[in-house]
Amino acid sequence: MTSPGSAADGTRERVLEATGLRKAFGDRLAVDDVGFHISVGETYGLLGPNGAGKTTTISMVCGLLERDAGEVTVDGRAVDTRTTQAREAIGYVPQELAIYPDLTGRENLRFFGRLYALAGDDLDRRVDEVLEIVDLADRANDRTGEYSGGMKRRLNIGLGLLNRPKLLVLDEPTVGVDPQSRNAILGSVERFREQGLAVLYTTHYMEEAERLCDRVGVIDEGRLMAEGTRRELVAMVGEQDRVSLQATGDLAAAEAAVRALEPVVGVSRREEGLDLVVRAARTALPQILTTVAEAGADVSTVEVTEPNLEAVFLHLTGKALRD
């Protein structure tokens, strides 16, 4: 998934550095020793189920939440809840639709622009640019309360771009969004990366992390369980595919025969067939099918499943991503 020459090689300028982040709410440890970095033009995903600690982590990254331990720098400047300088480089898109429904789209943008010290022509120009980026120029003077859900989501993202940030933080921006709007949002995030923006993207959708992120941090119960490119994470599970055979006949003989094959790592027999864990399943598949047939079993269907981030999460935590 890593784009050519991406930050994964560690040669690009780092925009965000977070180390040893820790936050407890009373007795509950919400985030424990989480650290990661994001470079220019890199999209980093924090993947985990609801309640894993994603929002708490990005709240500390943005200086919204006092941390118990750890350090955060954005564009070389330390971030905390008291200093304001580093926040000039951060664009934040919260999970909620953080817009004023009684203001127009343009008024929302102008208001938040002023908070970033934009004024006069510069403010007007930037507001127009953002309206174009989020494709809301023709509805700019309508109150946002009259916008569709997708339009509100787009404006929500646009507000995060107003200050020309170096780091764009998106907290589950597609939650509750229809498929069409979701696709549009994902397309926008891909363009931000192409434009050199460092993007921190939290999600509990495995498909989004796989599509958008150069690197992914798998987070659960406040801990960063693993981190890397999709390929690196999948390799943790092992480059092994799952092959499911629906078959009849002498399944016991078939099981014994395929177990002897070199690419086959494991076999389990069930009533309707066999489940195999196989290295490089696509090349080994003809040999497997021939062996099963020679052992006296008839195969009706074959299903090959390549490992994905869902499998990685399952491997690391012992539970499904959507639990």
Partner 1 sequence: MRRALAIAAKDLRLRIRDRSAFVIGFLVPFGLAGIFSLTLADVDDGEGFSTTFAIVDLDGGHLATGFGELLASLDFVELEDAASVADAERLAEEGGIDAAFVLPEGFSDGVSAGRGGEIRIIADPRSDIGGLVARSLARSFASDLDAVQLSVATAIASGAPAEDAAALAELASATPAAVTLNRDTAESQVLSATTFSAIGMAVFFVFFTVEFGVRSLLEEREQGTLARLLVAPLEPAWVIAGKVAAGFLVGVVSMSALVLATSAFLNADWGDPVGVALMVLFGVAAAVALMALIATLAKSPQQAAGYASFVTVVLGLFGGTFFPISQASFLGTLTLLAPQAWMMRGFQDLAAGGTVADIAPSLIALAIFTIVTGSIAVARSRMLIGR
List residues binding partner 1 (CB under 8 A).
59, 62-66, 81-82, 84-85, 87-88, 90, 92, 94-100, 102-103, 107, 111-112, 114-117, 159
| Smallest distance from partner 1 to CB 114, Å | 4
Residue 24 or 97 having the CB closest to partner 1: 97
Residue 320 · residue 313 · CB < 8 Å: yes
Residue 225 · residue 86 · CB < 8 Å: no
Phi-psi region of 227 (alpha: psi -120 to 50; beta: other; left: phi over 0): beta
Q: What is the residue-wise DSSP string for 274-292? A: EEEEEETHHHHHHHHHHHH
C-alpha to C-alpha distance for 192 and 163, rounded to whole angstroms: 14
| Smallest distance from partner 1 to CB 24, Å | 15
Q: Which residues pair with 224 in a beta bridge?
A: 219
Residue 128 · residue 141 · CB < 8 Å: no
Residue 162 or 225 having the CB closest to partner 1: 162
Residue 100 or 298 having the CB closest to partner 1: 100
| Smallest distance from partner 1 to CB 59, Å | 8
Going by C-beta distance under 8 Å and a sequence separation of 6 or more, which residues neighbour residue 83? 63, 77
| Smallest distance from partner 1 to CB 88, Å | 5
Residue 26 or 318 having the CB closest to partner 1: 26
Rounded to 10°, the helix 149-161/105-115 angle is 20
Strands 198-203 and 167-171: parallel
Residue 37 or 67 having the CB closest to partner 1: 67
| Smallest distance from partner 1 to CB 47, Å | 22
C-alpha to C-alpha distance for 252 and 316, rounded to whole angstroms: 32
Residue 63 or 217 having the CB closest to partner 1: 63
Q: How far is CA 221 from the centre of its chain?
A: 17
Residue 126 or 215 having the CB closest to partner 1: 126
| Smallest distance from partner 1 to CB 29, Å | 18
Total length of the chain: 323
| Smallest distance from partner 1 to CB 98, Å | 4
Residue 84 or 248 having the CB closest to partner 1: 84
Q: Which residues pair with 21 in a beta bridge?
A: 34
Strands (E), 204-239: 215-220, 223-228
Backbone phi and psi for residue 187, each to the nearest 5 degrees, phi listed first: -60, -40
Question: Is residue 303 within a helix (H) or strand (E), and if so which, with residue range?
Answer: strand 297-305
| Smallest distance from partner 1 to CB 96, Å | 3
How many of the other CB atoms lie within 10 Å of CB of 297?
Answer: 22
| Smallest distance from partner 1 to CB 306, Å | 38
Residue 96 or 323 having the CB closest to partner 1: 96
